[in-house]
């Protein structure tokens, strides 16, 4: 039987089979691709989990280290300030600044006699002179032992209250000091057990509040005769005792009669910034320099001179190597940055059209700044509320309110970021790390461990340069330094009110004698009253210098009589010289006008 032939698949069948095969292969390829993608995704997830685990482990390790470092910074930030530390071991040596050199001026034209008498203000000799004190005589001052008095004691009384923490120091203070209890005394003597002892590790940071306004840098301001001086109107030494976990805030009044190291003359302590060249750098043309961003360039030399001057106030051997300086606008910015301050306003006053009434209220930055600056009766204050003496307590209370606001709001740790935002208003030689360390340290500082002190004394518009100086109570100054640093320092006897009174008139006597020397030659002994007056000044000056030496050596506590005699002798010589000049038609001018510009190495605004 014949086998039937197989039928060959048609072309259509072949195509269909091929199509089905392609579909199956694509299906399998897609399935395989999906499977591979799933495996890859799973592997990627596993890799991510491994990486996350490693990162988490690292974070935990870093976190643990950060906590450890936080504890170290909180407990001992002094490691970041090795160069600025102080160990109470030795007492500073006695220092007496040299007297300024007098250089007579060239003739400046005739002076009207009516211009020669200067109002000494509210100064009264009875404020200086003890009614029961023995009358001093030439060559006998070394035997005087009774202490001069001004409302109790001319050189040592401290009843007057000085300007202390100004608002402008609040910003820097928060970074380093934490909080203080309201109503802290300006000066309090603690038990001796609280004094610094040998081996205490103490860091000094100077807080500087700068009296500065942008308008003072403009040509328009200078053309109007405005002063460009930038005063260090707030100086607070922050003594951080890491050994005793304590902070002492020592306020140095702006008007302190002081010596600026390396600069000759009679200055207030607040002039130290200007004596160092001011707040900003200047070019050879005397104009302020700007950086590439158009900002004025800070002058480190100015701040260094302020630190040197404050070191001198502490005795000379207690170093101050770190500072924070802020301007008035910075305070306003700080208060606004923390949302304002709740405060029980205690006075009625107005400032540039803004009126304020007493009572509990929420104060913004402008209101706080106005409150911290007001001190004149023209602003509506009562007589007992005016002046730097009354302003200090208001400033301290507000400072405490600002610090407490920072702590209660939990913003103290954000201070470094806040400080960074005040570009052009905050100046410091501390690093961001150092500032952060101090802020962390402040968080754990109990309020009871923060003490406030003021190196105040007697305010007087006495005849020493006709300015309102603060003459530091030297005994109090020595006690504060002993309590805070545990070292003994000498009194600055050349910075007492009575010595300054004599010193000013010794300068005047030298100039008066030189001014009249030409007239003396022209008269050639022809005017006996003038000759007698001339010799009286010479005699009084010689006697005064002998008494001054005894006073500086501690052999005498009385200088006022010799100063008063020298002043009267100079005034008499001036009157006799003017009369003698007119009698003979003497043509050369007699310039008796007194100003610090004559004696100071650097001219500054003395206000």
C-alpha pair distances (Å), 171 with each of 165, 175, 439: 11, 7, 12
The whole-number pLDDT of residue 92 equals 42
pLDDT in tens, 77-122: 777 776 445 666 544 444 344 444 444 443 333 323 232 222 223 3
| Among the listed residues 103, 186, 95, 123, the one whose alpha carbon sits nearest the alpha carbon of residue 392 | 186
Give the torsion sign (CA, 151, 154, 158, 164): positive
The whole-number pLDDT of residue 594 equals 81
**Neighbour-count burial for 298-332, b at 16+ CB within 10 Å, e otherwise:** bbeebbbbbbbbbbbbbbbebbbbbbbbbbbbbbb
- The Cα–Cα gap between 450 and 355 comes to 34
C-alpha pair distances (Å), 270 with each of 223, 276, 277, 278, 482: 24, 11, 13, 11, 24
User: Helix, strand, or coil here: 278?
Assistant: coil
- The Cα–Cα gap between 129 and 153 comes to 9
- Whether the CB-CB separation of 86 and 485 falls below 8 Å is answered with yes
The whole-number pLDDT of residue 468 equals 83
The residue ranges of the chain whose pLDDT is under 50 are 62-68, 83-84, 90-192
The whole-number pLDDT of residue 399 equals 76
The reported pTM is 0.70
User: Helix, strand, or coil here: 323?
Assistant: strand
User: Helix, strand, or coil here: 247?
Assistant: strand
The first and second tokens of residue 591, run together, are 């310039």
- Whether the CB-CB separation of 546 and 139 falls below 8 Å is answered with yes
Distance from the first to the final alpha carbon of the chain: 141
In whole angstroms, how large is the CA radius of gyration of the chain?
Answer: 37
- The Cα–Cα gap between 496 and 71 comes to 46
The whole-number pLDDT of residue 226 equals 55
Q: Helices marked H in 374-496 — which ranges?
A: 387-408, 415-421, 432-443, 474-485
| Among the listed residues 245, 308, 256, the one whose alpha carbon sits nearest the alpha carbon of residue 451 | 245
The first and second tokens of residue 369, run together, are 């700044």
C-alpha pair distances (Å), 558 with each of 468, 494, 550, 564: 22, 12, 10, 12
- The Cα–Cα gap between 540 and 571 comes to 12
- Whether the CB-CB separation of 157 and 151 falls below 8 Å is answered with yes
* Residues forming beta bridges with residue 240, ordered by sequence position: 203, 247
C-alpha pair distances (Å), 388 with each of 149, 254, 257, 471: 22, 9, 15, 14
- Whether the CB-CB separation of 268 and 471 falls below 8 Å is answered with no
The whole-number pLDDT of residue 282 equals 85
The first and second tokens of residue 267, run together, are 């200055």
The whole-number pLDDT of residue 338 equals 83
- Whether the CB-CB separation of 605 and 227 falls below 8 Å is answered with yes
The whole-number pLDDT of residue 5 equals 57
Q: If DSSP states are collapsed to H, E and C, what string results for 350-364? A: EECCEEECCEEEEEC
**Beta strand ranges found along 89-200 (DSSP E):** none
- Whether the CB-CB separation of 548 and 139 falls below 8 Å is answered with no
* Residues forming beta bridges with residue 450, ordered by sequence position: 247
User: Helix, strand, or coil here: 534?
Assistant: helix
């Amino acid at each position: 039987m014949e086998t039937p032939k197989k039928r060959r698949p048609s072309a259509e069948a072949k195509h269909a089979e091929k199509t089905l095969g392609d579909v199956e292969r694509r299906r399998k390829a897609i399935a395989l691709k999906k499977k591979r993608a799933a495996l890859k995704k799973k592997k990627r997830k596993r890799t991510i989990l491994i990486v996350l685990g490693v990162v988490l482990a690292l974070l935990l390790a870093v976190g643990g280290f950060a906590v450890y470092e936080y504890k170290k910074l909180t407990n001992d930030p002094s490691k970041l300030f090795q160069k600025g530390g102080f160990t109470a071991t030795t007492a500073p040596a006695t220092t007496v600044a040299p007297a300024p050199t007098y250089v007579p001026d060239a003739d400046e034209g005739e002076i009207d006699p009516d211009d020669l008498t200067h109002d000494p203000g509210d100064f009264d000799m009875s404020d200086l002179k003890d009614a029961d004190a023995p009358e001093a005589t030439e060559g006998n001052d070394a035997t005087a032992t009774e202490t001069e008095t001004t409302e109790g004691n001319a050189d040592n009384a401290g009843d007057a209250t000085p300007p202390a923490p100004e608002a402008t120091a609040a910003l820097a203070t928060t970074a380093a000091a934490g909080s203080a209890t309201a109503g802290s005394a300006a000066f309090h003597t603690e038990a001796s057990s609280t004094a610094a002892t040998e081996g205490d590790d103490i860091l000094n940071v100077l807080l500087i509040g700068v009296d500065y306004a942008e308008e003072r840098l403009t040509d328009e301001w200078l053309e109007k005769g405005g002063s460009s001086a930038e005063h260090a109107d707030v100086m607070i030494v922050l003594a951080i005792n890491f050994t005793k976990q304590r902070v002492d805030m020592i306020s140095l009044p702006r008007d302190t009669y002081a010596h600026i190291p390396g600069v000759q003359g009679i200055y207030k302590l607040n002039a130290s910034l200007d004596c160092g060249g001011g707040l900003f750098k200047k070019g050879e043309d005397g104009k302020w320099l700007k950086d590439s961003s158009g900002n004025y360039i800070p002058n480190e030399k100015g701040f260094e001179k302020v630190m040197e001057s404050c070191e001198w106030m502490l005795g000379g051997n207690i170093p101050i190597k770190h500072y924070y300086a802020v301007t008035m606008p910075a305070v306003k910015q700080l208060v606004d940055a923390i949302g304002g301050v709740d405060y029980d306003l205690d006075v009625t006053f107005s400032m540039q059209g803004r009126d304020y009434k007493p009572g509990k209220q929420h104060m913004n930055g402008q209101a706080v700044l106005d409150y911290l600056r007001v001190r004149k009766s023209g602003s509506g204050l009562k007589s007992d509320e005016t002046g730097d003496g009354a302003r200090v307590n208001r400033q301290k209370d507000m400072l405490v309110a600002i610090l407490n606001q920072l702590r209660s709001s939990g913003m103290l740790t954000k201070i470094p970021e806040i400080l960074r935002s005040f570009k052009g208003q905050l100046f410091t030689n501390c690093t961001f790390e150092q500032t952060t360390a101090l802020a962390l340290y402040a968080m754990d500082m109990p309020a009871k461990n923060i003490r406030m002190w003021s190196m105040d004394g007697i305010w007087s518009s006495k005849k020493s340069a006709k300015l309102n100086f603060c003459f530091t109570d030297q005994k109090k100054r020595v006690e504060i330094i002993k309590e805070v640093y545990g070292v003994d320092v000498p009194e600055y006897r050349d910075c007492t009110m009575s010595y300054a009174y004599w010193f000013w008139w010794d300068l005047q006597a030298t100039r008066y004698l030189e001014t009249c020397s030409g007239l003396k030659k022209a008269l050639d002994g022809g005017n006996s009253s003038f000759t007698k007056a001339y010799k009286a000044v010479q005699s009084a000056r010689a006697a005064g210098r002998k008494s001054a030496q005894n006073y500086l050596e501690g052999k005498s506590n009385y200088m006022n009589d010799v100063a008063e005699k020298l002043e009267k002798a100079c005034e008499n010589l001036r009157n006799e010289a003017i009369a003698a000049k007119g009698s003979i038609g003497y043509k050369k001018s007699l310039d008796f006008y007194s100003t610090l510009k004559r004696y100071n190495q650097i001219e500054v605004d003395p206000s």
